[in-house]
Amino acid sequence: MPPAKRVKSSAASRPNAAAKGRPSTDELEGESEFATLARQHWLRTPKAPQQAVKVKVKNDVLKREIWDTLEREDFPLQSLLVLEGLQTLESYLWPGYGEDSSNYHVLLIILLVNAKRRERLSTWDIFADRPADFSDLFRRALSMTLDGSLSWAIRTHVLLFIISAFQSLDCSIVRKECAPLVSISIWHNLSTDEKRDAILDSNTQLRKAWRASAKRYDAADDVTKARLRFERSWLYTLALDFVSLLYTENAKQEHVLYCERFIEFLTDLQSQLPTRRYVNTLLQDLHVLPALHLSLIFNDEENGLLRDLSTLLSHYTHFTVDDQTGAQLSRNEAYDRHCAALAKLQRTSLKYFKEKLTVLALSNYASIDKRTELEGLLQALTDEDLEQLTALLGLRTTYPESSRIPVDRRFWIEVLLSTFERRKTFQEAARDLSVLPTEETLFDIGLGRTDHYDGSRPLALPKLNLQYLSVGDFLWRAMVLYRCESFYAIRQDIEDALTRLKPDNRRTGLTTFSGFSKMALAIAKPTILEVVPPLVGDDKPSTVRAEVTIDLRRLAPHVRRDWESLRPDDVVFLVAVDASKSKQDANGGAAPSEAERLGLVSVRSAEIIQTFDDKGRPIRDTQAYFDGHSRSDTRKIQLRLDAEAYKADTEARRDVYEGINLLVRRSGRENNFKPVLESIRDLTLSEVPLASWLHEVFLGYGDPAGATYKQLPNRLTKINFRDTFLDWQHLVESLPGKIVEPGDDVSGSFGPPYLLETVEKQAKEAVSKPSKKRRRDAEPALIAEIETLRVSTYKPPNNGPYPVDAPKLNKVRFTPTQIEAIVSGTQPGLTVIVGPPGTGKTDVATQIINNIYHNFPEQKTLLIAHSNQALNQLFAKIVALDIDERHLLRLGRGEEELETEGSFSKAGRVESFLENRQRFLYEVNRLAASMGAPGAHGNSAETAGYFSSVYVEPAWAKFNDVVKAEDVGPDDIIAAFPFQAYFADAPQPLFPPDADREAVLEVARGCYRHVSKIFSELADVLPFEILRRDKDKANYLLTNEARIIAMTSTHAAMKRGEIAALGFHYDNVIMEEAAQITEIENFIPLAMQKPKNGRSGLQRVVLCGDHYQNSPVIQGLAFRHYANLEQSLFSRLVRLGVPAIVLDQQGRARPSISNLYRWRYPQLGDLPHTQTAKEFLAANAGFKYDYQFINVPDYKGKGETEPSPHFIQNLGEAEYAVAIFQYMRLLGYPAAKISILATYAGQRALIKDVLAHRCANNPIFGLPRLVTTVDKYQGEQNDYIILSLTRTTRVGYLRDIRRLTVALSRARLGLYIVGRRGVFEACFELREAFDVLLRRPDKLALVTGEMWPAERPVAAAEDGETRAVVEVEVDGEVVMEGVEHLGQYVFEMAGTRMRMLRAERGLEEAGVVAVGGGMDGGLEAAEGAAEGAGEEEEEEEEEEEDVEEAGRPEGFEAEEDE
């Protein structure tokens, strides 16, 4: 998705309501009413580990102290979050729940579950240990949804609980309760038995399911029958209550809120096949949508959100998918169904109403499938006729008496129109969505609702669910959401630019800009150069060219460089601002946006065609000005306008372009939205199929293990694992639970390479006939009891006599789970690899690629990663393997950062081919000379090919004829070898002395392989001699030469159409960092090729990632939380139960440090070297502990501060972190081995400022390897990490334990965390980690008299039973009482060090540069830096988003054109 970016000063007008409601530490630990109650009743914390105690809940406490307090204030979110933070649900309400619990008890549980879900916290796991009690709780919640004695506000809370449950069907206890509510038994409520029988007769499986449901009911006892009757009537009754509420006169706000939530609930049911299968029929039978559209609430002009929600419900209700089979209907199939319905209407009309409906009966379909035409034809019928027609068509005509639905003429007509009108398919809806914004789409009221989203009301946005109706449904959702999020970010950028520019018209009457923004320039109106007529079949101009002039003379060099760097196809925005038209009042409608307050009138998008200087010469070198080649300050930019908007403006006679006076650009890394949206739209409109073996698993249906290699018919029985196993012992150890036996042609143990063949065993026949129905929780049958593998080997071929000919072999001793992952990834099918920190998932992915490359020489592999950094790390490891470099290709930006000798970009590979051409042609000439062949054979690849066929191949054939004779000995073979002279420069002797016949022959064949490779490489070069255009050469390289193609997910999304159009085909996709990639980014690499014969050629998909670490970055809270846009395919497959291989041995960190996050990975162990290598056994010099949490109280009376919105800083922690770094440097720690991490971008900026002031110019200290945010550092590691947690009032986003996992798992040898103990210790979600951290003192313990590296062993150990820290006395221990103490200590050390250095150099004493927290002057300077950090940071090019997620890694990153 678009990269997370800073929310600038204008963000103050868009407060994050959810963040404002989060409780502070004072509210949780102070003397507030709820905190006091919690300490009295459930937050007792004894010194010894708390024993499991049955909690007795006092009903009077619940009612009087909690419920009444909440009810008086209308259940405020702030109070609910305080109760949630006090662990009321986990420690009091649920432990004390029983069958006799009061309704208030149940409702409080529901309210707190909703609060947890709103905060995206783990919820259902709390109930997992008591499924029977949870079932009772859930049943009571269902009853409450129908309880008319409860207020609609409370029923809304209960409904929200049910919505959350239906969004969590991956949880078994929740699924068990939800499934019966949407089963086929709800069809008991259809209008007539005849209608139900007709539906059941249309599908034999439906009839079987109905009979099975009836049998279950008949066989049940009275209690169970009552429960089954409730289950099948619950949704029906709830829907009738909803429809009745719609017609309430003088509806209150609580009624509207309930209706909005209920429509959200129905939409959720309709948007997943397992819940839709029977529900859709019932809802259409009840005419829910027609009743909704005619209702009073719907037609109240203030209820725009409800109308938007109903549009989304209508989309899913009429979605073109078969409800029973799940098959997506093609456009023709959907139209055929529509025509069949119209035919039934016409036949019925002709048969029963011939006189009145003759025109309708005899009209063509196109003339009666629109609302207006059909409504006019139906006006001829009386009220009784309409009711009769409706009944004859099999539509419901009666409702229970309690229903308030006015069943009248208006209602019948609406039902008929809704049933028979033609609707847009999702493809047509996607086609009509513009990918370029205007002011109407940017400031659309629906998009505006996302600004203030706090979870209190739903949004009219599709959600990314656990399952999808079809691939097309998924693509439609992705397009709508990605488009909304892109436009949301664009609007923020435009508003920020306008805020900084300060439009004004008070002086001259014309709009002027008194401020400055580096992202916008004032311009004169654009000149329309050309309007090219539409293409055939289109109605908009094919191209509209315009020109604008910009003046760069007053811009600072770094800002000018950005404007000079605008490239063709970059999107810019033409903005019309009129300060006199500023909107200040809402006038009863939606409140104006910040941009509208500032006078924004219109926005039009345009793409850059070309940039010219003041003399009209095109500028191709963006550095020309700075290199002194072009000193012009004026630039003319030719633009390609949005043709769709231009057409609409022309037809409406809007003179938009006359008023444009501002050109706005966006940062390159954020401005990829157009090509990505076009890729998604093209996929939505196409019939691109997924591989058949992956289709059902991707949609979330069928057997979760159905796409794994063990379930596929094309499973490979024999694979060459080459160098995967280092020796026989490694082979046996790596395959536990399997029988490993030597093949028939070998005996005993032997060395690699190894070929493994699966010995198939016939499965035993089942005694009884197995059920055809597979329950979701049932384990699949095993293929065989114990798998037997037959191992054989072969002698690797000799590739030549030179050292360069020797193969590069793997040296990693893979663990058994890593081997399991490698085996699965080498086989066809889907492989999901969960890689906890430090478990070597990159090595596993590399070996999978290596195995595929050598086992399947004709196959191509697409290598995808989220970031350039991760891709380069993986690519560098691939280059180091035995893979021919000519088969490697790296696409997109970031290749220049690849630390390899060769260039692997398109241009680099083409250049490499041509460089190799010269080298190989030189070898051809040398070979020709050695063979005495006259002529210029090395002139070109073509002449070299002739030379091979005329001289080399006949010579080798003659040699083979000689050696065929059995009586030819080694000396004769050597004498007959035709290339001895050529190999005179090879290591000698070429043929080993005393070698036997076979050894000599193998050497000769190896030499010929070396020669053959020369000509095969030149044959690959031949097309590059023929092709003239660089683009053609690059495309040939991609489609014909490359076998391993690497690119970021961003590049894949942007270039998908271009790559597919080249006819590029590939067989395998390997995705690194898959859990950090959004689902649409996961999907696009699976669909980058055109199908062959209607089928995808994809054979393997390997996803490597860790869903316990950070998720994809999504900028807007509404899109992240409500729409679930942060969902990755990786995490969804794990939730669905797709078998995942969890790597279980880490080799990064000391075992003591890995203990900090081992609770997240229960099976995680430590590789042997972490317990034996010297660096892991030795203590960290100068520190008593290898890790420690250091409590930092308020510093100079301050804790966290917020200089600008969401820009959070903590000067005390920044000083402490820098002082630790200085201390380490004084002890001799290399700066490159130290990284400083912060949890917020504001704190990172402050730490950089303090470092710049104290360390940057002092050679004793220097700067650490990196100062960055935790989120930016995912995937990285360093020996020593200093971590600042920053917050002192509330936990903040670190409450997401995925971020905490990342933070704690970056260090190898030392981790020193500075933070506020009281804030994080009390957090329920973080308790596992902080229980371990806080077993050690919270004051920094240092050791004097040591220098790095230390010889002292690690000081503290843990008791295996009690897990308590066993203290070890250390000589020279010093405890730091606070930041001032540490600062003074470091200051004195630095002074001593400076005096020593000066004495060594014979210099006089001088003042010591201020260091450490003990220098007041230094502190004042740092405080000044802190106050200005917000403004300075906003001007830096690399600044990230300064919101709670500030600093998280980008999603769709900037890419450069190839």
For residue 995, the model assigns a pLDDT of 85
Looking at residues 1059-1077, what average pLDDT do you find?
A: 93
CB count in 10 Å sphere of residue 1341: 18
The pLDDT of 1212-1224, averaged and rounded, is: 96
DSSP 1278-1306: EEEEEEE---SSS-GGGGSHHHHHHHHTS
Kindly tell me if the per-residue pLDDT of 1410 is higher than 90: no
Query: What's the one-letter identity of residue 528?
Result: I
Q: What's at 228, amino acid-wise? A: L
The whole-number pLDDT of residue 488 equals 93
pLDDT band for 14, please (50, 70, 90 cuts).
very low
Q: Above 90 in pLDDT, residue 1449?
A: no
Gap between the Cα atoms of 201 and 783, Å rounded = 37
Q: Are 186 and 277 in contact (CB under 8 A)?
A: no
Q: Could you give the angle at the alpha carbon of 519 between the alpha carbons of 516 and 520, nearest 5°?
A: 65
pTM of the model: 0.90
Q: Is residue 1438 very low, low, confident or very high in pLDDT (cuts 50, 70, 90)?
A: very low
Beta-bridge partner residues of 549: 636
What per-residue confidence (pLDDT) applies to 904?
65
Cα separation of 200 and 194, whole Å?
10
Average pLDDT over residues 48-59: 64
> Is the omega angle on the peptide bond into residue 704 within 30 degrees of 0, that is, cis?
no
CA-CA distances (angstroms) from residue 762 to 719, 739, 743? 21, 16, 20
Span 654-669, average pLDDT:
90
What would the mean pLDDT of 1276-1291 be, rounded to a whole number? 94
> Dihedral, CA atoms, 1054, 1055, 1056, 1061, nearest 10 degrees?
150
Over residues 86-100, mean pLDDT: 92
- State the residue for tokens 């490239």: 567
Q: Which of 1297, 1366, 1339, 831 is nearest to 1101 (CA)?
A: 831
Residue 821: which of 735, 763, 899, 896 has the closest Cα?
Answer: 735
- On the question of pLDDT at 1436 being above 60, the answer is no
- The confidence score (pLDDT) of residue 1423 equals 46
- Determine which of 249-263, 1011-1025, 1028-1042 has the lowest per-residue pLDDT on average: 1028-1042
Cβ pair 1170, 1304 in contact under 8 A: no
Query: What average pLDDT does this structure show over 575-579?
Result: 92
Only one residue has tokens 């719609």, namely 246
Query: What rounded mean pLDDT belongs to the chain?
Result: 87
1162: Cβ contacts below 8 Å, ≥ 6 apart: none
User: pLDDT-based confidence at 13, cuts 50/70/90?
Assistant: very low
Residue % of the chain over a pLDDT of 90: 63
> How much is the pLDDT for 422?
93
Comparison of pLDDT for 954 and 885, the residue scoring more:
954
pLDDT at residue number 749: 81
Cβ-based burial of 964 (10 A; exposed 0-12, middle 13-18, buried ≥19): exposed
Close Cβ partners of 1377 (under 8 Å, ≥ 6 residues apart): 1339
Dihedral angle sign, alpha carbons of residues 1076, 1081, 1086, 1089: negative
Strand locations in 326-385 (E): none
Per-residue model confidence as pLDDT tens digits over 664-720? 999 877 889 999 999 999 999 987 778 999 999 999 988 999 999 999 999 999 999
- How would you class 119 by CB atoms within 10 Å of its CB: exposed for 0-12, middle for 13-18, buried for 19 or more? buried
Q: What residues does 1373 pair with on adjacent strands? A: 1343
> E-strand spans in 693-796?
718-722, 739-742, 754-759, 788-792
SS3 383: helix
| Angle (CA) 832 835 836, round 5° | 145
To which H or E segment does residue 618 belong? none
Looking at residue 1404, what is its pLDDT?
61
Higher pLDDT pick, 400 / 1364? 400
- The predicted structure's pLDDT at residue 629: 61
pLDDT at 1010 over 60: yes
Give, as one character, the DSSP assignment of residue 1196: T
pLDDT tens digit string along 1345-1399?
999 999 898 865 555 444 455 567 888 999 999 999 999 999 999 998 888 888 8
Beta strand 520-522 pairing with 662-664 = antiparallel
Render pLDDT for 1096-1112 as a digit per residue (tens, 0 to 9). 889 999 999 999 999 99
Return the C-alpha torsion angle 534, 536, 539, 543, nearest 10.
Answer: -20
Q: What is the pLDDT of residue 1204?
A: 84
Q: For residue 624, name the pLDDT band (cuts at 50, 70, 90).
A: low
How far apart are the C-alpha atoms of 1343 and 1370, rounded to whole Å?
Answer: 7
Helices (H), 1028-1089: 1030-1036, 1049-1061, 1079-1083
Q: Which residue has the higher pLDDT, 721 or 1401?
A: 721
pLDDT confidence band for 1446 (50 / 70 / 90): very low
Write out the H or E segment, with its range, that includes residue 754: strand 754-759
Q: 798, 1003 in Cβ contact below 8 A?
A: yes
Asked whether 833 and 841 are in contact (CB, 8 A), the reply is yes
List residues bridging with 607 in a β-sheet: 571, 640
The model's confidence at residue 905, banded by pLDDT at 50, 70 and 90, is: low
Calculate Rg over the CA atoms of the chain. 36
pLDDT of residue 902: 56
Structure confidence at residue 1240 as a pLDDT band (50, 70, 90): very high
Least confident of 445-459, 538-552, 1151-1165, 1350-1364: 1350-1364
Question: For residues 66 and 111, what is the distance between their CA atoms, to the nearest angstrom?
Answer: 12
Query: For residue 793, what are the CA distances in angstroms to 171, 512, 758, 811?
Result: 47, 80, 15, 19
pLDDT at 27: 76
Residue 1036 vs residue 1454, higher pLDDT:
1036
pLDDT at 3: 44
- Asked if residue 769 has pLDDT above 60, the reply is no
The answer to whether 1254 and 1419 have CB atoms below 8 angstroms apart is no
For residue 48, the model assigns a pLDDT of: 38
Place of tokens 């036997």: 996
149-178 pLDDT, tens digit per residue, is: 999 999 999 999 999 999 999 999 999 999
Confidence class for position 387, pLDDT limits 50, 70, 90: very high
Q: For 1320-1336, write each residue's pLDDT tens digit.
A: 988 888 989 999 999 99
- Report d(CA 424, CA 434) in Å as an integer: 16
Residue 1106: closest CA among 1285, 919, 874, 839: 839
Report whether pLDDT(4) > 50. no
Q: How many CB atoms lie within 10 A of CB 713?
A: 6
Give the model confidence (pLDDT) of 302-344 as tens digits: 999 999 999 999 999 999 999 988 899 988 999 999 999 999 9
